[in-house]
Chain A
Amino acid sequence: MKFTINRSAFIKELNNVQRAISSKTTIPILTGLKLDVASDAITLTGSDADISIETTIPAVDDNNTLVVEAEGSIVLPARFFSEIVKKLPEDTMTVNVEDGFQTQITSGAASFTINGLDPENYPHLPEIDTTNTVTLAGDVFKELIGQTVIAVSTQESRPILTGVHFILKDGEFLAVATDSHRLSQRKIKLPEANNADYDVIIPGKSLTELSRMIGDNNPDVQMRLSENQVLFVLGNTSFYSRLLEGNYPDTSRLIPKESSTTVEIEAPALSAAIERASLLSHESRNNVVRFSVNPSDKTVTIFGNSPDVGEVTEQLQPAELTGDELEISFNPDYMKEALRSFGQAMIRISFTMALRPFTLVPTEDGENFIQLITPVRTF
């Protein structure tokens, strides 16, 4: 295998695939980076078994100045190879694989020969067929991930809750995540008619990494499914993720349909107040903050109280307040994270009873984005 390429074009893609490479892995060959060289393009692959990133550099693009002299494949120690490439002297570099997987890297007067590994030992990425592709706008998808992944579980006790549940049906895309204490649900109507039918659970960690890769120059993200992995195509880069196995619990029944008290308020204002109250709650044994909703004078008062630390109170004037009086307590960190996901919007909080979960939705669109939080009992 032998090719020559523009170094900075190569480094850009190298950095992309390195996001998936971890130094701590149970399969030693995964600390390596795979290079596949075909006559018209080279493909770089990095993986930690859970996520795999594959990117292609075509010869046809002049910026790459890619010249392929011989086809072939090799796996090279990722970190070491990357450091070498970044420190080479000239604009271009040549990679040449000789017998016994010895790989020569040259640039100008510098020449390295390093030991490569047998590419046959590298895991195979699944073949994913292109029927039932779902296309989403990059920024919309990135926002969706940001809004749902905050609610995934971080505990190993119930692994299926560490993922986000994606359901595609009748042209509608639903994403749900919950750790049993709070829940986040986002609905998107797909722009084009689509017959795809998906029901998968994607690890939260994979989606977070994917989100970081959706840049401004990725207008569209294409999602495709195989039996056991999901593939997201962003331009020349393919992002694969393993799925979680099992049945995700039915969450539709968890979202209350009616309410007895509603409060409309600007998310940032409420968030700032909650943050102040949590200064106290973080110092005490219970991280709990209380709302006192008072319809008669249209106020919401935030209380924090801890016998050995102190107390805090703040009164808020919501834009709207209807329904019954209510005293309810909850974890302020969940509230803050939920509020942050609304950005600058005006939100409506709907309560039923002091011991039942309450929801937060944007006032402009109460159907397509819902955050739910379970309250905490106070005695």
Chain B
Amino acid sequence: MDKRDLYDSFGGMEQQMQQMLDKMAKLRADMTTVLEKNAELVIENEHLRERMVEIENELPKKPVGTTTLSKSRQNLEKLYDEGFHVCNQFYGKRRNDDESCVFCLDVIYGERERP
């Protein structure tokens, strides 16, 4: 192969790889957004089902011993379980390796003084 062509093709390949890397990063970010939206919809779905059952059967109270969280907190709990941060520090970011976050736990379970 002509030396010039060799150089050209390397340059071209490098450029293409860099572009692919960039595309991948963007795809990953987009996918995270989509997963988050998905999580929200699943939670919404769950709520609607619960409500339907409640309405049809007058569902009894939850068993004693489990703390009842407000609906919005349950949403957040579900999102957290799906693997996302729900705290102000890292809001929306994925939790690497499902590692725990003390700020999220406070948001979900902590005592709050609502203004």
Residues of A whose CB lies within 8 Å of any CB of B are: 157-158, 161, 178, 180-183, 249, 253-254, 331, 355-357, 372, 374-377
Which residues on the A side are within 8 Å of B70 (C-beta)? Answer: none
A254 with B102, Cβ < 8 A, contacts A157-B90, A249-B89 known: yes
Q: Distance (Å) between the CB of A359 and the closest chain B CB?
A: 11
* Interface residue from A157, A182, A254, A377 paired with B103 (Cβ < 8 Å): A254
- Within the assembled complex, what's the spacing in Å between the Cα atoms of A372 and B102? 9
Which has the most chain B C-beta neighbours within 10 Å: A180, A182, A356? Answer: A180
Contact indicator A157/B93 (Cβ below 8 Å): yes
- Within the assembled complex, what's the spacing in Å between the Cα atoms of A376 and B105? 11
Q: Distance (Å) between the CB of A222 and the closest chain B CB?
A: 33
Contact indicator B101/A374 (Cβ below 8 Å): yes
- Within the assembled complex, what's the spacing in Å between the Cα atoms of A331 and B102? 14
A-B contact count (CB 8 A): 47
Q: Which residue of B lies closest to A178 (CB)?
A: B102
Which residues on the B side are within 8 Å of A356 (C-beta)? Answer: 105, 109
- Within the assembled complex, what's the spacing in Å between the Cα atoms of A377 and B99? 9
Q: Which residue of A lies closest to B110 (CB)?
A: A253
A158 with B89, Cβ < 8 A, contacts A253-B110, A356-B109, A377-B81 known: yes
A249 with B103, Cβ < 8 A, contacts A157-B90, A180-B89, A180-B90 known: yes
Contact indicator A254/B81 (Cβ below 8 Å): no
* Interface residue from B88, B105, B111 paired with A374 (Cβ < 8 Å): B105
Which residues on the A side are within 8 Å of B87 (C-beta)? Answer: 180
A180 with B101, Cβ < 8 A, contacts A158-B90, A249-B88 known: yes
Confirm or deny: B45 has a beta carbon within 8 angstroms of a beta carbon on chain A: no
New contact pairs (16) apart from A183-B102, A249-B103, CB-CB < 8 Å: A158-B90, A161-B89, A180-B89, A180-B101, A181-B100, A181-B101, A249-B89, A254-B103, A357-B102, A357-B105, A372-B102, A374-B101, A374-B102, A376-B100, A377-B81, A377-B98
- Within the assembled complex, what's the spacing in Å between the Cα atoms of A157 and B93? 10
7 interchain residue pairs of minimum CB distance: A374-B100, A180-B101, A374-B102, A254-B102, A254-B106, A357-B102, A376-B100
13 A-B residue pairs with CB within 8 Å: A158-B90, A180-B103, A181-B99, A181-B102, A249-B103, A253-B111, A254-B102, A254-B103, A356-B105, A357-B105, A375-B100, A377-B81, A377-B100
Contact indicator A355/B98 (Cβ below 8 Å): no
Q: Distance (Å) between the CB of A260 and the closest chain B CB?
A: 12
Which has the most chain A C-beta neighbours within 10 Å: B90, B98, B101, B102? Answer: B102
* Interface residue from B81, B99, B109, B110 paired with A376 (Cβ < 8 Å): B99
Residues of B whose CB lies within 8 Å of any CB of A are: 81, 87-90, 93, 98-103, 105-106, 109-111
Which residues on the A side are within 8 Å of B109 (C-beta)? Answer: 355-356
Which residues on the A side are within 8 Å of B103 (C-beta)? Answer: 180, 249, 254
Q: Which residue of A lies closest to B100 (CB)?
A: A374
- Within the assembled complex, what's the spacing in Å between the Cα atoms of A158 and B88? 11
Q: Distance (Å) between the CB of A352 and the closest chain B CB?
A: 9
- Within the assembled complex, what's the spacing in Å between the Cα atoms of A181 and B110? 16
- Within the assembled complex, what's the spacing in Å between the Cα atoms of A110 and B96? 59
Which residues on the B side are within 8 Å of A183 (C-beta)? Answer: 102
Which residues on the B side are within 8 Å of A375 (C-beta)? Answer: 100
- Within the assembled complex, what's the spacing in Å between the Cα atoms of A178 and B105? 14
- Within the assembled complex, what's the spacing in Å between the Cα atoms of A157 and B102? 16
Q: Distance (Å) between the CB of A287 and the closest chain B CB?
A: 9
Contact indicator B98/A376 (Cβ below 8 Å): yes
Q: Distance (Å) between the CB of A338 and the closest chain B CB?
A: 13
- Within the assembled complex, what's the spacing in Å between the Cα atoms of A329 and B93? 23
Which residues on the B side are within 8 Å of A357 (C-beta)? Answer: 102, 105
- Within the assembled complex, what's the spacing in Å between the Cα atoms of A5 and B8? 62
Which has the most chain B C-beta neighbours within 10 Å: A157, A161, A374? Answer: A374
A355 with B105, Cβ < 8 A, contacts A253-B110, A376-B98 known: yes
Which residues on the A side are within 8 Å of B88 (C-beta)? Answer: 249
Which residues on the B side are within 8 Å of A182 (C-beta)? Answer: 102
Which residues on the B side are within 8 Å of A374 (C-beta)? Answer: 100-102, 105
- Within the assembled complex, what's the spacing in Å between the Cα atoms of A25 and B89? 30
Q: Distance (Å) between the CB of A255 and the closest chain B CB?
A: 9
- Within the assembled complex, what's the spacing in Å between the Cα atoms of A90 and B81? 69
Which residues on the B side are within 8 Å of A157 (C-beta)? Answer: 90, 93
Which residues on the B side are within 8 Å of A161 (C-beta)? Answer: 89
- Within the assembled complex, what's the spacing in Å between the Cα atoms of A331 and B101? 12
Which residues on the B side are within 8 Å of A158 (C-beta)? Answer: 89-90
Q: Distance (Å) between the CB of B86 and the closest chain A CB?
A: 12
